[in-house]
């Protein structure tokens, strides 16, 4: 994948920009790298330009570009200005939720629509932060190297460990119901994951006042998501003035696979195609 590095006033930002048509800004979630694709790359075949900006600490984007969502929102505006992009439709995934919200609240004239896909609308819980800091702080390279080695030799064990944090279902039942394609999706997601310094930065993110969001919002969430509980959807719905929540019939945080995956894709396109 061809990437661009932009030297902004706060440091280096990595991004890719391809396709033609209205611009969709994609903000990936925690642990996601430039190689991680949860189906969104196909938007370029649906008549959109896809601008993917790596968040602080991920890929080559420096932490200095925004230790808070509001700071990085300002940096995103620098990227948009550099590319002469007036407005964007924004997709925020999982841990990128606070960044999408900050962009919409602080720069309402640049955000046409905001799509929150299993995205955080609340600060991290203290217990989660402690555990995540231990795993993905200084030891993150060792943790991911070990996980990826185990993924090659004993994938079922790795999948069990991962899914336990993503679903409220019994893990064995969840894995048993995976299709081969869905299983491949999860393995590819893991194989392309790396926390860098990004995830520990994510853990301290605050959330802007969602009552200030002027753009239409669509939130897509699963009731069986353990990592981003459905309360995030309820808070988004009760706070953002113009908000629709689509309850995804998915068995985990991974709303992009499973029996409702096609409907998620349809809802996404329907929302993004509105002017």
> What residues does each domain of the chain span?
4-125+197-272
Q: Which stretches within the chain are classed as H helix? A: 69-82, 97-106, 126-136, 140-153, 155-164, 171-176, 180-191, 198-202, 231-239, 261-272
193: left (phi over 0), alpha (psi -120 to 50) or beta: beta
Task: Give the model's pLDDT for residue 194.
Answer: 96
Task: Give the model's pLDDT for residue 256.
Answer: 98
**88-93 and 23-27 strand pairing:** parallel
DSSP per position, 34-99: TT--SSGGGGGGGT-EEEEEPPTTSTT--GGG-SSHHHHHHHHHHHHHHTT---EEEEEEGGGHHH
Average pLDDT for 146-170: 94
pLDDT tens profile 178-231: 999 999 999 999 999 999 999 999 999 999 999 999 999 999 999 999 999 999
Task: Give the model's pLDDT for residue 2.
Answer: 81
Model confidence band, residue 127 (pLDDT cutoffs 50, 70, 90): confident
Whole-model pTM over 0.95: yes
Whether 164 has a pLDDT exceeding 70, the answer reads yes
Cβ-Cβ contacts under 8 Å for 86 (sequence gap 6 or more): 80, 110
Whether 1 has a pLDDT exceeding 80, the answer reads no
If you classify domain 4-125+197-272 with CATH, what class do you get? Answer: alpha beta
Task: Give the model's pLDDT for residue 121.
Answer: 98
Structure tokens at 214: 């002027």
């Amino acid at each position: 994948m061809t990437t661009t590095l932009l030297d902004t006033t706060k440091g280096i930002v990595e991004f890719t920009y391809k396709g033609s048509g209205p611009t969709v800004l994609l903000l990936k979630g925690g642990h996601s790298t430039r190689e991680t694709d949860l189906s969104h790359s196909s938007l370029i075949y649906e008549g959109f330009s896809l601008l993917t900006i790596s968040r602080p600490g991920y890929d080559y984007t420096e932490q200095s570009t925004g230790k808070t969502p509001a700071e990085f929102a300002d940096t995103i505006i620098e990227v948009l200005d550099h590319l002469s992009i007036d407005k964007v439709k924004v997709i925020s995934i999982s841990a990128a939720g606070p960044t999408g919200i900050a962009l919409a609240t602080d720069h309402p004239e640049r955000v046409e629509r905001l799509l929150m896909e299993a995205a955080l609308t609340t600060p991290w819980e203290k217990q989660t932060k402690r555990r995540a800091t231990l795993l993905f702080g200084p030891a993150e390279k060792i943790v991911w190297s070990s996980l990826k080695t185990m993924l090659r030799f004993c994938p079922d064990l790795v999948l069990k460990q991962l899914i336990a944090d993503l679903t409220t279902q019994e893990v064995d039942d969840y894995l048993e119901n995976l299709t081969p394609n869905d299983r491949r999706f999860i393995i590819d997601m893991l194989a392309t994951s790396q926390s860098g310094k990004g995830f520990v930065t994510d853990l301290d993110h605050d959330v802007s006042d969602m009552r200030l969001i002027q753009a239409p919002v669509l939130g897509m969430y699963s009731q069986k998501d353990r990592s981003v509980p459905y309360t995030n959807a309820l808070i988004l719905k009760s706070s953002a003035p113009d908000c629709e929540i689509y309850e995804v019939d998915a068995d985990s945080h991974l709303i992009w696979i499973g029996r409702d995956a096609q409907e998620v894709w349809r809802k996404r396109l329907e929302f993004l195609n509105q002017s």
